[in-house]
Structure 1
Amino acid sequence: MIGRWIFIRGQAMGRRGWLALAALFIVALIVLMPLRMILGLTMPETITARSVEGSVWGGRIGDLNAGPLPLGTVDAGLEPLPLLIGRPQFAIARDGFSATIAPSRIIHANGSVQIPDGLGGLPVTSVGLGDFSAAMADGQCTEAQGTLSLTLAALGPLLPDAITVSGQARCEKGALVVPMRGPQGMERLTLKIGGDGRWQADLTLAGLPQETVEALKSSGFDTRPGGIGIGTSGTF
């Protein structure tokens, strides 16, 4: 009897009913779409993760890496409004960090990220972000704003304290550039990131005692106008 009733209802269902059923089916597919699938289709190869779980609207990404930045395990979800203009972007968050990521773009990043392997030849231990946003298009920096800071471990027994430098991000000649200074203005570091993934970092220290200067020269620093410095570079 139940089977006969379903059959009769199916025969009686009009065009509007079938459209409503199809719409519900599409909505169900979207709601239940795996986060892993959308990330794989929209994010560049520089975005990697150990695991991706959950739906596109509310999932979890294990050991997320954005280029050289290990962001850790984050909660993630697709933001619906940017889809109206064809831009998929994801809100991600964990304790001490939040941001929105999209293809070739990071938006309103706040918090800190630990860097266990340093930054090239510099002993960078962490990166701090204050309302930091940056975008790349066709290999060029098109937008950059907010604050970026780097904390460096002690450079030797004569400089036992960590050094923190910070500055405002900007686009310059197609590259993302962040000129940073320490609290006293004696430490300066310039970070440049190109749209091709190549980066350069140059650290200059001024006002150091001669014995400290000589010790740092023996570890790779060279003489600069007004102080000593060291440069390093790499590719994301």
Structure 2
Amino acid sequence: MIGRWIFIRGAAMGRRGWLALGVLFAVALLVLLPLRLVLGMALPETITARSVEGSVWSGRIADLNAGPLPLGTVDASLQPLPLLIGRPQFAISREGFSAQIGPSRLTGANGSVLLPDGLGGLPVTSLGFGDFSAVMVDGKCAEAQGTLSLTLASLGPLLPDALVVSGQARCESGALVVPMRGAQGMERLTLKLGADGRWQADLALAGLPQETAEALKSSGFDTRPDGVGIVTGGTF
């Protein structure tokens, strides 16, 4: 009797009824679409995570990494408006950091990211973002704006204080370049991300006492016309 009742109800359903049912089914699929599935299709392999849970509209990503940058465990949601132009983009946030990420883009980034392993050969402890955005097209920097800052731990007993450098991001010959300076203007660091995915950081320190400069040279710094410096790099 139950099967017959369902059949009769289905037969009596009109075209509008079937259309409404189809719309409800599509909406249910969209609402319940797993975040893991969409992330795997929309973002490049350089974006990795330990685990992903929840729906595409309200999910959570554990230990999210953008290349060498550990972004931590974040809440994530797909943004509907960029989908209208065929561009998947996710809003991510946690205490102290928020941004939007998509294929070859990081936009509206604010806050800081801890770097427990440093940055190449530099003892960088954190990377700060101030309304930072970078868009890459065909591997080349197409748009960059906002501020990046790096905090470096003590470089030795003769330089016991942490060093903070910051600067404005820009595109230069297809590369993302951020020239940074310290509060005294004697500390300079240029961070560069090339179209081939390789990054380079060039730190230069000027006006140091001879004893301090010699100590830094013995730890890997090279001689510069106005002081000492060191270059490090890697692949994003």
Deviations 1:127-178 (A, max 9, x none): 0000000011111100100000000110000000110000000000000000
Moved more, 126-135 or 17-26: 17-26
**Cα drift, residue 2 of structure 1:** 4.9
The sequence identity of aligned pairs, in percent, is 82
SS of aligned partner of 2:84? helix
Moved more, 9-18 or 55-64: 9-18
Moved more, 21-30 or 126-135: 21-30
Partners of 1:37 and 1:139 in 2: CA distance: 25
Partners of 2:230 and 2:196 in 1: CA distance: 23
Normalised by the length of structure 1, the TM-score is: 0.98
* Matching residue of 1:139: 139
* Matching residue of 2:85: 85
Question: What letter is aligned with 1:15?
Answer: R
Alignment pair present for 1:187 and 2:187: yes
* Matching residue of 1:45: 45
**Cα drift, residue 195 of structure 1:** 2.6
* Matching residue of 1:207: 207
**Cα drift, residue 209 of structure 1:** 0.4
Partners of 2:199 and 2:69 in 1: CA distance: 13
Alignment pair present for 1:149 and 2:149: yes
- Do 1:137 and 1:195's aligned partners in 2 also have CA atoms closer than 8 Å? no
* Matching residue of 1:178: 178
Question: What letter is aligned with 2:121?
Answer: G
CA RMSD of aligned residues (A): 1.0
Deviations 1:94-138 (A, max 9, x none): 000000000100010000000011111111110000000001111
- Structure 2 unaligned runs (5+)? none
SS of aligned partner of 1:10? helix
**Cα drift, residue 3 of structure 1:** 4.3
SS of aligned partner of 2:167? strand
* Matching residue of 2:162: 162
Question: What letter is aligned with 2:113?
Answer: V
Structure 1 stretches of 4+ with a deviation exceeding 6 A read none
Partners of 2:41 and 2:59 in 1: CA distance: 16
* Matching residue of 2:221: 221
* Matching residue of 1:57: 57
- Structure 1 unaligned runs (5+)? none
* Matching residue of 2:15: 15
* Matching residue of 1:105: 105
